[in-house]
Structure 1
Amino acid sequence: MTTPSYEGVLFEVPTPVEQLLHLAGECTRHNDAIDVHLSTGAGAGSVAHAASARTLAHDTHAALRAIRDQRLNNSMELAHTQIRLRQLGFLSAVSADYNPAAARELTALATDTVMDSASAVALQMLRRDPTGHRAPAARLTPIQHSALEQIARGHVVANSSLGREYTRSHEPKISMSTLRSLEAENLAERAPATACPPYHGGPLQDRVRLTPAGIATLATVLARPAPQQNTGPSAAAVPLPAAAPATAKSR
Protein backbone atom coordinates (compact mmCIF):
# COMPACT_ATOMS: atom_id res chain seq x y z
CA MET A 1 0.00 0.00 0.00
CA THR A 2 1.51 3.32 -1.02
CA THR A 3 1.41 6.34 1.26
CA PRO A 4 -1.30 8.72 -0.01
CA SER A 5 -1.20 12.49 0.10
CA TYR A 6 -3.85 14.09 2.30
CA GLU A 7 -2.99 17.74 1.76
CA GLY A 8 -6.09 18.45 -0.31
CA VAL A 9 -8.43 16.05 1.48
CA LEU A 10 -7.91 17.41 4.98
CA PHE A 11 -8.71 20.97 3.95
CA GLU A 12 -11.94 20.15 2.12
CA VAL A 13 -15.28 20.73 3.81
CA PRO A 14 -16.01 17.52 5.76
CA THR A 15 -18.83 15.37 4.45
CA PRO A 16 -21.63 14.25 6.78
CA VAL A 17 -19.97 10.82 6.88
CA GLU A 18 -16.68 12.36 8.02
CA GLN A 19 -18.56 14.37 10.66
CA LEU A 20 -20.20 11.19 11.93
CA LEU A 21 -16.88 9.32 12.05
CA HIS A 22 -15.41 12.18 14.05
CA LEU A 23 -18.46 12.07 16.35
CA ALA A 24 -18.01 8.31 16.82
CA GLY A 25 -14.48 8.96 18.03
CA GLU A 26 -15.80 11.59 20.46
CA CYS A 27 -18.30 9.08 21.84
CA THR A 28 -15.56 6.54 22.46
CA ARG A 29 -13.35 9.12 24.19
CA HIS A 30 -16.29 10.25 26.33
CA ASN A 31 -17.13 6.70 27.45
CA ASP A 32 -13.47 5.80 27.98
CA ALA A 33 -12.99 8.80 30.26
CA ILE A 34 -15.95 7.73 32.41
CA ASP A 35 -14.76 4.11 32.49
CA VAL A 36 -11.27 5.14 33.61
CA HIS A 37 -12.74 7.39 36.29
CA LEU A 38 -15.07 4.66 37.58
CA SER A 39 -12.47 1.89 37.53
CA THR A 40 -9.46 3.75 38.92
CA GLY A 41 -10.79 6.96 40.44
CA ALA A 42 -8.44 8.87 38.17
CA GLY A 43 -9.27 11.25 35.38
CA ALA A 44 -12.18 13.61 34.97
CA GLY A 45 -14.99 13.79 37.47
CA SER A 46 -18.63 14.79 37.12
CA VAL A 47 -17.97 18.37 36.00
CA ALA A 48 -15.75 17.34 33.08
CA HIS A 49 -18.15 14.53 32.20
CA ALA A 50 -21.09 16.97 32.03
CA ALA A 51 -19.18 19.31 29.70
CA SER A 52 -18.21 16.40 27.47
CA ALA A 53 -21.81 15.15 27.36
CA ARG A 54 -23.08 18.56 26.28
CA THR A 55 -20.43 18.66 23.54
CA LEU A 56 -21.64 15.27 22.28
CA ALA A 57 -25.21 16.56 22.17
CA HIS A 58 -24.15 19.69 20.27
CA ASP A 59 -22.04 17.78 17.74
CA THR A 60 -24.79 15.19 17.21
CA HIS A 61 -27.24 17.94 16.25
CA ALA A 62 -24.58 19.47 13.98
CA ALA A 63 -24.23 16.11 12.20
CA LEU A 64 -28.01 15.95 11.81
CA ARG A 65 -28.04 19.37 10.17
CA ALA A 66 -25.28 18.27 7.79
CA ILE A 67 -27.32 15.22 6.81
CA ARG A 68 -30.44 17.33 6.17
CA ASP A 69 -28.41 19.76 4.05
CA GLN A 70 -27.55 16.88 1.70
CA ARG A 71 -31.25 16.58 0.70
CA LEU A 72 -30.95 12.82 0.30
CA ASN A 73 -33.83 10.60 -0.73
CA ASN A 74 -36.21 10.34 2.21
CA SER A 75 -35.98 6.59 2.63
CA MET A 76 -37.22 4.71 5.68
CA GLU A 77 -33.62 3.79 6.53
CA LEU A 78 -32.53 7.43 6.48
CA ALA A 79 -35.55 8.47 8.55
CA HIS A 80 -34.70 5.85 11.19
CA THR A 81 -31.07 6.98 11.14
CA GLN A 82 -32.06 10.56 11.93
CA ILE A 83 -34.42 9.42 14.69
CA ARG A 84 -31.64 7.40 16.34
CA LEU A 85 -29.29 10.39 16.16
CA ARG A 86 -31.91 12.69 17.68
CA GLN A 87 -32.38 10.17 20.47
CA LEU A 88 -28.62 10.07 21.02
CA GLY A 89 -28.48 13.86 21.17
CA PHE A 90 -31.23 13.87 23.78
CA LEU A 91 -29.62 11.10 25.86
CA SER A 92 -26.23 12.81 25.74
CA ALA A 93 -27.70 16.11 26.94
CA VAL A 94 -29.69 14.42 29.72
CA SER A 95 -26.66 12.40 30.87
CA ALA A 96 -24.92 15.64 31.84
CA ASP A 97 -27.28 15.86 34.83
CA TYR A 98 -26.50 12.34 36.08
CA ASN A 99 -23.58 10.98 38.06
CA PRO A 100 -20.90 9.27 35.91
CA ALA A 101 -22.06 5.71 36.67
CA ALA A 102 -25.67 6.40 35.65
CA ALA A 103 -24.65 8.63 32.75
CA ARG A 104 -22.41 5.90 31.32
CA GLU A 105 -25.47 3.72 30.67
CA LEU A 106 -27.14 6.47 28.65
CA THR A 107 -24.22 6.69 26.20
CA ALA A 108 -23.25 3.00 26.25
CA LEU A 109 -24.39 2.44 22.64
CA ALA A 110 -23.39 5.87 21.36
CA THR A 111 -20.40 4.87 19.20
CA ASP A 112 -22.18 1.98 17.47
CA THR A 113 -25.27 4.15 16.94
CA VAL A 114 -23.19 6.83 15.24
CA MET A 115 -21.27 4.28 13.15
CA ASP A 116 -24.47 2.59 11.97
CA SER A 117 -25.74 6.04 11.03
CA ALA A 118 -22.52 6.84 9.16
CA SER A 119 -22.85 3.62 7.14
CA ALA A 120 -26.48 4.39 6.28
CA VAL A 121 -25.71 7.96 5.20
CA ALA A 122 -22.68 6.85 3.17
CA LEU A 123 -24.85 4.32 1.33
CA GLN A 124 -27.53 6.91 0.56
CA MET A 125 -24.93 9.37 -0.74
CA LEU A 126 -23.34 6.69 -2.91
CA ARG A 127 -26.72 5.67 -4.34
CA ARG A 128 -27.58 9.25 -5.18
CA ASP A 129 -24.35 9.98 -6.99
CA PRO A 130 -22.00 6.99 -7.48
CA THR A 131 -19.58 9.03 -9.61
CA GLY A 132 -19.56 12.10 -7.38
CA HIS A 133 -18.51 10.23 -4.24
CA ARG A 134 -14.90 10.96 -3.28
CA ALA A 135 -12.42 8.40 -4.52
CA PRO A 136 -10.77 6.34 -1.79
CA ALA A 137 -7.73 8.18 -0.46
CA ALA A 138 -5.75 4.98 0.03
CA ARG A 139 -5.74 1.43 -1.29
CA LEU A 140 -6.65 -0.82 1.62
CA THR A 141 -6.22 -4.55 2.05
CA PRO A 142 -9.30 -6.45 3.29
CA ILE A 143 -7.73 -6.73 6.76
CA GLN A 144 -6.96 -3.01 6.90
CA HIS A 145 -10.48 -2.15 5.73
CA SER A 146 -11.95 -4.26 8.54
CA ALA A 147 -9.48 -2.83 11.06
CA LEU A 148 -10.41 0.78 10.28
CA GLU A 149 -14.08 0.01 10.88
CA GLN A 150 -13.32 -1.73 14.19
CA ILE A 151 -11.16 1.18 15.29
CA ALA A 152 -13.91 3.64 14.39
CA ARG A 153 -16.35 1.62 16.51
CA GLY A 154 -14.03 1.80 19.53
CA HIS A 155 -13.34 -1.92 19.49
CA VAL A 156 -9.52 -1.88 19.43
CA VAL A 157 -7.03 -1.30 22.25
CA ALA A 158 -3.31 -1.96 22.52
CA ASN A 159 -1.12 -2.86 25.46
CA SER A 160 2.19 -4.44 26.35
CA SER A 161 3.28 -7.15 28.72
CA LEU A 162 6.74 -8.54 29.46
CA GLY A 163 8.21 -6.36 26.73
CA ARG A 164 5.74 -7.51 24.06
CA GLU A 165 2.98 -5.48 22.46
CA TYR A 166 -0.43 -6.93 21.72
CA THR A 167 -3.92 -5.85 20.69
CA ARG A 168 -7.42 -6.61 21.90
CA SER A 169 -10.34 -6.32 19.49
CA HIS A 170 -13.62 -7.86 18.45
CA GLU A 171 -13.80 -10.52 15.75
CA PRO A 172 -12.13 -10.63 13.32
CA LYS A 173 -9.03 -10.10 15.45
CA ILE A 174 -6.83 -7.14 14.57
CA SER A 175 -3.16 -8.07 14.87
CA MET A 176 -0.37 -5.81 16.04
CA SER A 177 1.21 -6.02 12.58
CA THR A 178 -2.01 -4.69 11.02
CA LEU A 179 -2.13 -1.86 13.55
CA ARG A 180 1.49 -0.96 12.82
CA SER A 181 0.78 -0.89 9.08
CA LEU A 182 -2.08 1.57 9.65
CA GLU A 183 0.11 3.69 11.92
CA ALA A 184 2.83 3.74 9.25
CA GLU A 185 0.26 5.10 6.79
CA ASN A 186 -0.90 7.72 9.34
CA LEU A 187 -4.40 6.20 9.38
CA ALA A 188 -4.46 5.18 13.05
CA GLU A 189 -2.78 6.17 16.30
CA ARG A 190 -2.67 5.09 19.94
CA ALA A 191 -3.81 7.28 22.82
CA PRO A 192 -1.73 6.02 25.76
CA ALA A 193 -3.47 4.94 28.97
CA THR A 194 -6.94 6.17 27.98
CA ALA A 195 -8.90 2.90 28.00
CA CYS A 196 -10.11 0.76 30.90
CA PRO A 197 -7.76 -1.93 32.31
CA PRO A 198 -8.27 -5.45 30.94
CA TYR A 199 -8.75 -6.75 34.50
CA HIS A 200 -9.25 -5.29 37.97
CA GLY A 201 -6.10 -3.60 39.15
CA GLY A 202 -4.44 -3.93 35.76
CA PRO A 203 -2.74 -1.17 33.76
CA LEU A 204 -4.73 1.23 31.61
CA GLN A 205 -4.76 0.29 27.93
CA ASP A 206 -4.02 2.42 24.87
CA ARG A 207 -7.14 3.26 22.86
CA VAL A 208 -6.55 2.96 19.12
CA ARG A 209 -8.12 5.86 17.23
CA LEU A 210 -8.44 7.03 13.66
CA THR A 211 -6.31 9.98 12.62
CA PRO A 212 -7.88 12.73 10.46
CA ALA A 213 -6.40 10.91 7.46
CA GLY A 214 -7.93 7.66 8.71
CA ILE A 215 -11.35 9.31 8.98
CA ALA A 216 -11.02 10.70 5.44
CA THR A 217 -10.05 7.27 4.11
CA LEU A 218 -12.75 5.29 5.91
CA ALA A 219 -15.41 7.81 4.87
CA THR A 220 -14.71 7.07 1.21
CA VAL A 221 -14.98 3.28 1.55
CA LEU A 222 -17.61 2.89 4.28
CA ALA A 223 -20.49 2.11 1.90
CA ARG A 224 -18.35 0.15 -0.53
CA PRO A 225 -17.78 -3.61 -0.32
CA ALA A 226 -14.58 -4.59 1.42
CA PRO A 227 -11.84 -5.45 -1.10
CA GLN A 228 -11.46 -9.13 -1.82
CA GLN A 229 -8.34 -10.94 -0.67
CA ASN A 230 -6.10 -11.74 -3.61
CA THR A 231 -5.64 -15.49 -3.84
CA GLY A 232 -3.94 -17.29 -6.70
CA PRO A 233 -3.62 -20.96 -7.70
CA SER A 234 -0.19 -21.14 -6.09
CA ALA A 235 -1.54 -20.21 -2.68
CA ALA A 236 -3.30 -23.53 -2.21
CA ALA A 237 -0.24 -25.47 -3.36
CA VAL A 238 1.92 -24.32 -0.47
CA PRO A 239 1.69 -26.85 2.39
CA LEU A 240 0.74 -25.45 5.79
CA PRO A 241 3.16 -26.04 8.69
CA ALA A 242 2.11 -28.36 11.47
CA ALA A 243 0.03 -26.70 14.16
CA ALA A 244 2.01 -25.50 17.14
CA PRO A 245 1.13 -27.10 20.47
CA ALA A 246 0.36 -23.74 22.11
CA THR A 247 -1.42 -20.61 20.97
CA ALA A 248 -0.19 -17.05 21.32
CA LYS A 249 -1.85 -13.65 21.61
CA SER A 250 -2.34 -11.57 18.48
CA ARG A 251 0.77 -9.56 17.66
Structure 2
Amino acid sequence: MTTPPDPDHAPLFHVVAPVPLTPVERLLALADLYTQHNDRIDLLFSGHAHPAPDAYMSSAHRLEREALACIKDVRQQHLPAIEPVAGAVVRLKQTAYLTSGATRYLTAAQQALPSQDAEDARPDPHRGFGQYIRLARELTALAPLAIVESASHIAHRLSARARNSSTVTGLDAAQHNALLEVARGHITVAEQHGHRVHGHTTTVTAEVLRHLEAQDLVTRQPASTPPHFPGGVPRDRVRLTALGISTLSAVIDAPLHVSLPARCPSPVPAAANATRAHR
Protein backbone atom coordinates (compact mmCIF):
# COMPACT_ATOMS: atom_id res chain seq x y z
CA MET A 1 0.00 0.00 0.00
CA THR A 2 1.39 3.41 -0.99
CA THR A 3 1.52 6.09 1.67
CA PRO A 4 -0.15 9.31 0.46
CA PRO A 5 2.13 12.37 0.23
CA ASP A 6 2.23 14.68 3.23
CA PRO A 7 1.31 18.20 1.99
CA ASP A 8 3.29 19.75 4.86
CA HIS A 9 6.49 18.01 3.73
CA ALA A 10 6.05 18.06 -0.03
CA PRO A 11 9.33 17.98 -2.00
CA LEU A 12 10.64 21.16 -3.55
CA PHE A 13 10.88 19.54 -6.93
CA HIS A 14 10.07 16.55 -9.05
CA VAL A 15 11.89 14.96 -11.93
CA VAL A 16 10.23 13.55 -15.03
CA ALA A 17 12.18 10.50 -16.10
CA PRO A 18 11.52 7.02 -17.48
CA VAL A 19 11.28 4.06 -15.11
CA PRO A 20 13.38 2.03 -14.64
CA LEU A 21 16.37 4.29 -15.18
CA THR A 22 19.70 3.14 -16.53
CA PRO A 23 22.78 4.30 -14.56
CA VAL A 24 23.47 7.21 -16.93
CA GLU A 25 19.82 8.27 -17.05
CA ARG A 26 19.72 8.18 -13.28
CA LEU A 27 22.75 10.47 -13.07
CA LEU A 28 21.18 12.96 -15.49
CA ALA A 29 17.98 12.93 -13.45
CA LEU A 30 20.06 13.56 -10.31
CA ALA A 31 21.73 16.57 -11.93
CA ASP A 32 18.27 17.93 -12.68
CA LEU A 33 17.23 17.53 -9.05
CA TYR A 34 20.25 19.53 -7.91
CA THR A 35 19.43 22.29 -10.37
CA GLN A 36 15.87 22.53 -9.05
CA HIS A 37 17.12 22.56 -5.47
CA ASN A 38 19.59 25.37 -6.20
CA ASP A 39 16.98 27.37 -8.10
CA ARG A 40 14.59 27.39 -5.17
CA ILE A 41 17.26 28.76 -2.86
CA ASP A 42 18.21 31.39 -5.44
CA LEU A 43 14.57 32.49 -5.62
CA LEU A 44 14.65 32.98 -1.85
CA PHE A 45 17.62 35.35 -2.04
CA SER A 46 16.02 37.28 -4.90
CA GLY A 47 12.88 37.86 -2.84
CA HIS A 48 10.65 35.63 -4.97
CA ALA A 49 10.18 32.79 -2.45
CA HIS A 50 9.35 32.45 1.24
CA PRO A 51 11.83 30.91 3.70
CA ALA A 52 11.27 27.15 3.91
CA PRO A 53 14.33 25.69 5.67
CA ASP A 54 12.54 22.45 6.50
CA ALA A 55 11.75 21.89 2.82
CA TYR A 56 15.30 22.78 1.78
CA MET A 57 16.67 20.40 4.39
CA SER A 58 14.36 17.57 3.23
CA SER A 59 15.38 18.07 -0.38
CA ALA A 60 19.08 18.06 0.53
CA HIS A 61 18.56 14.77 2.39
CA ARG A 62 16.92 13.37 -0.71
CA LEU A 63 19.78 14.54 -2.92
CA GLU A 64 22.34 12.92 -0.66
CA ARG A 65 20.48 9.60 -0.64
CA GLU A 66 20.04 9.63 -4.39
CA ALA A 67 23.70 10.51 -4.98
CA LEU A 68 24.79 7.54 -2.88
CA ALA A 69 22.29 5.30 -4.67
CA CYS A 70 23.72 6.41 -8.04
CA ILE A 71 27.23 5.55 -6.87
CA LYS A 72 26.04 2.08 -5.83
CA ASP A 73 24.33 1.67 -9.19
CA VAL A 74 27.52 2.58 -11.06
CA ARG A 75 29.61 0.19 -8.96
CA GLN A 76 27.26 -2.65 -9.84
CA GLN A 77 28.24 -2.21 -13.48
CA HIS A 78 31.73 -3.58 -12.63
CA LEU A 79 33.54 -0.91 -14.65
CA PRO A 80 37.34 -0.97 -14.82
CA ALA A 81 39.01 1.06 -12.07
CA ILE A 82 40.85 3.27 -14.54
CA GLU A 83 40.85 6.96 -15.33
CA PRO A 84 38.68 8.79 -16.06
CA VAL A 85 36.07 6.37 -14.66
CA ALA A 86 37.68 6.20 -11.20
CA GLY A 87 37.85 9.99 -11.05
CA ALA A 88 34.19 10.25 -12.05
CA VAL A 89 33.15 8.01 -9.16
CA VAL A 90 35.28 10.08 -6.77
CA ARG A 91 33.56 13.26 -7.94
CA LEU A 92 30.19 11.66 -7.29
CA LYS A 93 31.34 10.75 -3.78
CA GLN A 94 32.51 14.31 -3.22
CA THR A 95 29.11 15.57 -4.37
CA ALA A 96 27.37 13.34 -1.82
CA TYR A 97 29.71 14.49 0.99
CA LEU A 98 29.22 18.16 0.10
CA THR A 99 25.48 17.64 0.09
CA SER A 100 25.73 16.15 3.57
CA GLY A 101 27.45 19.36 4.67
CA ALA A 102 24.72 21.42 2.99
CA THR A 103 22.12 19.46 4.96
CA ARG A 104 23.87 20.40 8.21
CA TYR A 105 23.85 24.09 7.26
CA LEU A 106 20.17 23.88 6.35
CA THR A 107 19.45 22.27 9.70
CA ALA A 108 21.17 25.21 11.38
CA ALA A 109 19.13 27.59 9.20
CA GLN A 110 15.95 25.94 10.38
CA GLN A 111 16.91 26.73 13.96
CA ALA A 112 17.75 30.34 13.02
CA LEU A 113 14.51 30.95 11.12
CA PRO A 114 13.57 34.65 11.33
CA SER A 115 10.45 35.86 13.09
CA GLN A 116 7.10 35.81 11.33
CA ASP A 117 7.32 39.56 10.69
CA ALA A 118 10.66 39.16 8.92
CA GLU A 119 9.74 36.22 6.69
CA ASP A 120 8.93 38.40 3.68
CA ALA A 121 12.26 40.24 3.88
CA ARG A 122 15.21 39.02 1.84
CA PRO A 123 17.59 37.02 4.02
CA ASP A 124 20.95 38.58 4.81
CA PRO A 125 23.55 36.26 3.19
CA HIS A 126 26.12 37.26 5.84
CA ARG A 127 24.14 36.77 9.04
CA GLY A 128 22.13 34.08 10.80
CA PHE A 129 19.49 32.32 8.71
CA GLY A 130 20.65 33.79 5.42
CA GLN A 131 24.29 32.93 6.06
CA TYR A 132 23.50 29.26 6.69
CA ILE A 133 21.38 29.10 3.54
CA ARG A 134 24.14 30.74 1.51
CA LEU A 135 26.78 28.32 2.78
CA ALA A 136 24.52 25.37 1.95
CA ARG A 137 23.91 26.77 -1.54
CA GLU A 138 27.65 27.08 -2.17
CA LEU A 139 28.18 23.41 -1.37
CA THR A 140 25.74 22.27 -4.07
CA ALA A 141 26.50 24.98 -6.62
CA LEU A 142 28.67 22.85 -8.91
CA ALA A 143 26.83 19.55 -8.40
CA PRO A 144 24.92 19.50 -11.73
CA LEU A 145 28.08 20.17 -13.73
CA ALA A 146 30.12 17.58 -11.80
CA ILE A 147 27.42 14.92 -12.18
CA VAL A 148 26.98 15.48 -15.92
CA GLU A 149 30.73 15.34 -16.51
CA SER A 150 30.98 12.16 -14.43
CA ALA A 151 28.07 10.65 -16.35
CA SER A 152 29.90 11.32 -19.61
CA HIS A 153 33.04 9.47 -18.48
CA ILE A 154 31.03 6.59 -17.04
CA ALA A 155 28.87 6.28 -20.17
CA HIS A 156 31.97 5.84 -22.31
CA ARG A 157 32.64 2.49 -20.60
CA LEU A 158 29.05 1.22 -20.48
CA SER A 159 27.24 -0.93 -22.99
CA ALA A 160 24.47 0.65 -25.05
CA ARG A 161 21.83 -1.15 -22.97
CA ALA A 162 23.20 0.33 -19.74
CA ARG A 163 23.29 3.83 -21.23
CA ASN A 164 19.78 4.51 -22.45
CA SER A 165 16.34 2.95 -22.79
CA SER A 166 15.06 4.45 -26.05
CA THR A 167 15.90 4.73 -29.72
CA VAL A 168 17.82 7.91 -30.48
CA THR A 169 17.37 9.97 -33.63
CA GLY A 170 20.20 11.98 -35.14
CA LEU A 171 21.35 15.15 -33.40
CA ASP A 172 23.58 17.79 -34.88
CA ALA A 173 26.38 19.45 -32.94
CA ALA A 174 24.29 22.43 -31.83
CA GLN A 175 21.46 20.24 -30.52
CA HIS A 176 23.83 17.87 -28.75
CA ASN A 177 25.64 20.77 -27.12
CA ALA A 178 22.34 22.39 -26.10
CA LEU A 179 21.16 19.20 -24.39
CA LEU A 180 24.42 19.07 -22.44
CA GLU A 181 24.03 22.69 -21.34
CA VAL A 182 20.46 22.05 -20.23
CA ALA A 183 21.59 19.01 -18.24
CA ARG A 184 24.26 21.11 -16.53
CA GLY A 185 21.60 23.59 -15.40
CA HIS A 186 23.00 26.38 -17.55
CA ILE A 187 20.00 27.44 -19.65
CA THR A 188 17.15 29.79 -18.76
CA VAL A 189 14.68 31.77 -20.88
CA ALA A 190 13.31 35.27 -20.24
CA GLU A 191 10.28 36.72 -22.00
CA GLN A 192 10.31 40.21 -20.45
CA HIS A 193 12.12 41.82 -23.41
CA GLY A 194 11.41 39.24 -26.05
CA HIS A 195 12.37 35.57 -26.17
CA ARG A 196 15.95 35.57 -24.83
CA VAL A 197 17.99 32.50 -23.98
CA HIS A 198 20.53 32.89 -21.16
CA GLY A 199 23.43 30.48 -20.80
CA HIS A 200 26.80 30.43 -19.08
CA THR A 201 29.75 30.37 -21.46
CA THR A 202 28.20 28.35 -24.30
CA THR A 203 25.69 29.93 -26.66
CA VAL A 204 22.40 28.16 -27.26
CA THR A 205 20.18 29.86 -29.80
CA ALA A 206 16.42 30.29 -29.45
CA GLU A 207 15.97 28.40 -32.73
CA VAL A 208 17.81 25.32 -31.42
CA LEU A 209 15.88 25.47 -28.17
CA ARG A 210 12.54 25.66 -30.00
CA HIS A 211 13.53 22.64 -32.09
CA LEU A 212 14.37 20.62 -28.96
CA GLU A 213 11.07 21.65 -27.39
CA ALA A 214 9.20 20.57 -30.52
CA GLN A 215 10.93 17.19 -30.30
CA ASP A 216 9.88 16.90 -26.63
CA LEU A 217 13.50 16.73 -25.51
CA VAL A 218 13.38 19.81 -23.26
CA THR A 219 10.70 21.73 -21.42
CA ARG A 220 10.47 25.03 -19.58
CA GLN A 221 9.59 25.39 -15.91
CA PRO A 222 7.97 28.84 -15.64
CA ALA A 223 9.31 31.48 -13.23
CA SER A 224 11.58 29.00 -11.47
CA THR A 225 14.84 31.00 -11.48
CA PRO A 226 15.65 34.56 -10.29
CA PRO A 227 15.47 37.57 -12.61
CA HIS A 228 18.47 38.36 -14.77
CA PHE A 229 18.65 41.81 -13.17
CA PRO A 230 17.14 43.50 -10.06
CA GLY A 231 13.52 44.44 -10.56
CA GLY A 232 13.01 41.96 -13.37
CA VAL A 233 10.70 38.97 -13.49
CA PRO A 234 11.80 35.39 -12.74
CA ARG A 235 13.09 33.40 -15.68
CA ASP A 236 12.05 29.97 -16.93
CA ARG A 237 14.41 27.08 -16.26
CA VAL A 238 14.96 24.80 -19.26
CA ARG A 239 15.01 21.15 -18.20
CA LEU A 240 15.35 17.78 -19.88
CA THR A 241 12.17 15.79 -20.39
CA ALA A 242 12.03 12.03 -19.91
CA LEU A 243 12.82 11.59 -23.59
CA GLY A 244 15.57 14.19 -23.32
CA ILE A 245 17.21 12.33 -20.45
CA SER A 246 17.10 9.06 -22.36
CA THR A 247 18.32 10.64 -25.59
CA LEU A 248 21.25 12.46 -24.01
CA SER A 249 22.27 9.38 -22.06
CA ALA A 250 22.90 7.59 -25.36
CA VAL A 251 25.05 10.32 -26.89
CA ILE A 252 26.49 12.12 -23.87
CA ASP A 253 30.06 11.02 -24.60
CA ALA A 254 29.79 11.31 -28.37
CA PRO A 255 32.11 13.76 -30.14
CA LEU A 256 30.49 16.99 -31.24
CA HIS A 257 29.98 16.57 -34.96
CA VAL A 258 27.38 17.65 -37.45
CA SER A 259 25.41 14.70 -38.76
CA LEU A 260 25.56 14.47 -42.54
CA PRO A 261 23.24 12.78 -45.05
CA ALA A 262 24.29 9.39 -46.34
CA ARG A 263 26.93 9.69 -49.02
CA CYS A 264 26.30 8.48 -52.56
CA PRO A 265 28.90 6.11 -54.03
CA SER A 266 31.78 8.05 -55.52
CA PRO A 267 31.56 8.10 -59.31
CA VAL A 268 34.32 6.30 -61.15
CA PRO A 269 36.40 8.75 -63.18
CA ALA A 270 35.65 8.64 -66.90
CA ALA A 271 39.30 8.04 -67.76
CA ALA A 272 39.39 4.94 -65.54
CA ASN A 273 36.25 3.58 -67.22
CA ALA A 274 37.74 4.16 -70.63
CA THR A 275 40.94 2.36 -69.63
CA ARG A 276 39.05 -0.70 -68.38
CA ALA A 277 36.90 -0.74 -71.56
CA HIS A 278 39.97 -1.13 -73.80
CA ARG A 279 41.45 -4.01 -71.74
> Is this a same-fold pair by TM over 0.5?
yes
Note closer, same or farther for the CA distance 1:90–1:179 as it changes in structure 2 (3 Å cut): same
Change (3 A) 1:156 1:131: closer
Task: Give unpaired runs (5+ residues) of structure 2.
Answer: 1-16, 106-131, 262-279
Number of the residue aligned with 1:140: 171
For 1:211, which of 235, 241, 244 is the aligned residue? Answer: 241
| d(CA) in 2 for partners of 1:89, 1:132 | 23
After TM superposition, give the deviation of residue 97 of structure 1 in Å. 2.0
Aligned 8 A contact 1:16 1:66 in 2: yes
**Structure-1 residue corresponding to 2:226:** 196
**TM-score, with length taken from structure 2:** 0.73
> 5 Å matches for 1:202-241?
202-228=232-258, 230=260
Give the superposition deviation at 1:28: 0.6
How many residues are treated as equivalent by the alignment?
218
Decide which of 176, 182, 207 is 1:151's aligned counterpart.
182
Superposed CA RMSD in Å reads 2.1
1:1-251 alignment to 2 at 5 Å? 10-11=18-19, 13-40=20-47, 42-43=49-50, 45-98=52-105, 99-125=132-158, 129=159, 137-162=168-193, 164-228=194-258, 230=260
Q: Which amino acid aligns with 2:91?
A: R
Distance 1:71 1:28, change over 3 A: same
Deviation at 1:46, TM superposition (A): 1.2
Cα shift at 1:60: 0.2
What 5-or-longer segments of structure 1 have no aligned partner? 1-8, 232-251
Q: Distance in 2 between matches of 1:131 and 1:121?
A: 13
Largest Rg, 1 or 2: 2
What per-residue deviation string (whole Å, max 9, x for no partner) do you get for residues 171-206 of structure 1? Answer: 431111111111111000000001121012211100
Paired amino acid for 2:187: V
C-alpha separation between the residues in 2 aligned to 1:45 and 1:133? 36
TM-score, with structure 1 as normaliser: 0.81
Mean Cα deviation higher: 32-41 or 213-222: 32-41
2: distance between equivalents of 1:229 and 1:214? 18
Q: 1:67 to 1:54 in 2, by over 3 A?
A: same
2:80 counterpart letter in structure 1:
N
Secondary structure at the counterpart of residue 75 of structure 2: helix
**Once the two structures are aligned, what percentage of the paired residues are identical?**
35
Name the SS for the 2:190 alignment partner: strand
Report the alpha carbon displacement of residue 132 of structure 1 after superposing the two structures with TM.
7.9
The residue type equivalent to 1:106 in the other structure is L
Partners of 1:136 and 1:100 in 2: how far apart? 42
Distance 1:94 1:21, change over 3 A: same
Secondary structure of 1:155's counterpart equals coil
Native 8 Å contact 1:21 1:219 kept in 2:
yes
Deviations 1:100-144 (A, max 9, x none): 11101111111111111101101121xxx4798657512112111
